[in-house]
Amino acid sequence: MALFGSDNSAASSSPSTSQEVKDSLIRQVQQEAAMSNARSLIGKVNEHCFEACVPTPGSSLSTKESTCLSQCMEKYIGFWNATSRAYISRVSKESKKAGGADLSGLSL
Amino acid sequence: MDPQTQLDIAKLNDGDRKELTQYLANEAQKSNIQQTVHGLADICWKKCITGKISSGRLDQPEEACAQNCVERWMDTNFAVLKHLENLRGQ
């Protein structure tokens, strides 16, 4: 499960101080959050790009289909980022209107 | 969970415990927002990317469509809530 180079070796000696326990927990949460986010993204890319690039599945992926899949993947990630920017900017505008927290500095 | 990282939560002092609680709350919020964005990208991709895919770059109309889609989805959200409020007051 080392999709994004998650490295557990640093945590292999069991943490003994408060600082070490904290750092180790934060590292684990970060890894799992990244993993869960990647899993959602990959699932959606698979779904949409299969739909867009492989309309009639043959006995193997053609060169054209493979090229399309690579392009689709890049486009989906760009699209995801555009969606994220639009959503965060709107939410932070609304929450400022309501006198709430400023989320504009948030990046995912 | 990795078996080699057995963590003893009892070792945390009050300061670190507080810091962790705050950290986890932030992460939970970030994760919530990410999940919403996954849902939105899913919905908006279907509406905005309808033709053949001929480039890996997101072009200007596609980017504009993504933005409009998110904005109108939010408007819809508010409109539904507002109408619900009206119905409740009747």
Residue ranges covered by each domain of chain A? 31-97
- Smallest CA-to-CA distance from B67 within B36, B34, B40, B46 is with B40
> Shortest Cα distance from A68 to chain B (angstroms)?
6
What pTM was estimated for this model as a whole? 0.82
pLDDT band at A18 (very low <50, low <70, confident <90, very high): confident
Alpha-carbon distance of B33 to B24, in angstroms, equals 14
User: Which percentage of chain B shows pLDDT scores above 90?
Assistant: 79
Which residue reads 């993504």 in tokens? Answer: B66
> Which pLDDT score is estimated for B29?
94
What architecture is domain A31-97? Orthogonal Bundle (1.10)
Mean pLDDT of A12-34: 86
Which residue reads 């799992």 in tokens? Answer: A32
Alpha-carbon distance of B43 to B66, in angstroms, equals 10
Question: How many CB pairs (< 8 A) connect A and B?
Answer: 139
> Do residue A82 and residue B67 have CB atoms under 8 angstroms apart?
yes
Could you report the predicted ipTM of this complex, rounded to two decimals? 0.86
Higher pLDDT, B5 or A48: A48
Q: Is pLDDT above 90 for A84?
A: yes
Mean pLDDT of A86-91: 96
Q: List domains and CATH numbers for chain B.
A: 9-89 (1.10.287.810)
Report the range of poorest mean pLDDT among A3-17, A26-40, A41-55, B76-90: A3-17
**Partners of residue A22 in chain B, C-beta under 8 Å:** 12, 16, 19-20
> Which pLDDT score is estimated for B5?
55
- Burial code of A60-91, b = ≥16 C-beta within 10 A, e = fewer? eeeeebeebbebbbbbbebbbbbbbbbbbebb
